[in-house]
């Protein structure tokens, strides 16, 4: 065996290892999305089915979005057995963002009684988890895309929050800075 062929075999072995790890990461993220969507559907559907019959837009958007997220996640899981393409990684990260922002935006547009702002709710934590999940695919570009798409999404939610509920908001600029710091921290981890 020559040095060149040994080097080629080592490179091929490393490539196969990385592709396998990417596939496992994508499967893990897909399974997590399936579990989350199914759990949220199980929790929300019994409470919202009557509201949906009455035409409640929040319930329709939330339930339809979670159902679509579940279907897309099942499809992504089925495709995770093959090597991930860049487009596949971006699509999967975008599915994460779709589910995250669809569920959060309904709470901003139609908040619960006593709502004092998005940053005083627990939902933003899901954004940071989704950013970290973008790194589980072992793609630098996917992780960067995840950080960017979630930064844009969080800024959009905060702008919407201020536009709709400005006087009712009780979080300060310092809390906005902390949200940004958590976002950057999650992006670095990814």
pLDDT in tens, 96-135: 999 999 999 999 999 999 999 999 999 999 999 999 999 8
Please report the pLDDT score of residue 104 as a whole number. Answer: 96
Please report the pLDDT score of residue 88 as a whole number. Answer: 84
Please report the pLDDT score of residue 138 as a whole number. Answer: 77
Write the pLDDT tens digit of every residue in 128-170: 999 999 988 878 899 999 999 999 999 999 999 999 999 999 9
Q: Which long-range contacts (CB under 8 A, 24 or more apart) does 156-162 make?
A: 156/101, 157/101, 157/104, 157/105, 157/108, 157/118, 158/118, 158/119, 160/105, 160/108, 160/109, 161/108, 161/117, 161/118
**pTM of the prediction?**
0.84
């Amino acid at each position: 065996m020559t040095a060149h062929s040994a080097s080629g075999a080592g490179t091929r072995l490393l490539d196969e290892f990385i592709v396998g790890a990417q596939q496992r990461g994508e499967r893990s993220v897909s399974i997590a999305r399936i579990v989350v969507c199914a759990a949220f559907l199980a929790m929300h559907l019994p409470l919202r089915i009557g509201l949906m019959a009455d035409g409640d837009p929040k319930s329709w958007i939330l339930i339809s979005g979670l159902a679509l997220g579940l279907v897309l996640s099942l499809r992504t899981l089925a495709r995770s057995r093959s090597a991930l393409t860049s487009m596949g990684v971006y699509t999967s990260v975008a599915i994460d963002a779709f589910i995250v922002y669809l569920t959060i935006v309904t709470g901003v547009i139609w908040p619960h009684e006593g709502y004092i702002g998005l940053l005083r709710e627990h939902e933003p934590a899901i954004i940071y988890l989704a950013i970290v999940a973008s790194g589980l695919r072992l793609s630098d570009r996917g992780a960067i895309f995840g950080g960017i798409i979630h930064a844009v999404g969080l800024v959009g939610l905060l702008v919407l929050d201020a536009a709709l509920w400005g006087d009712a908001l009780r979080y300060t600029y310092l809390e906005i800075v902390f949200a940004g710091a958590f976002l950057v921290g999650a992006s670095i981890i990814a």
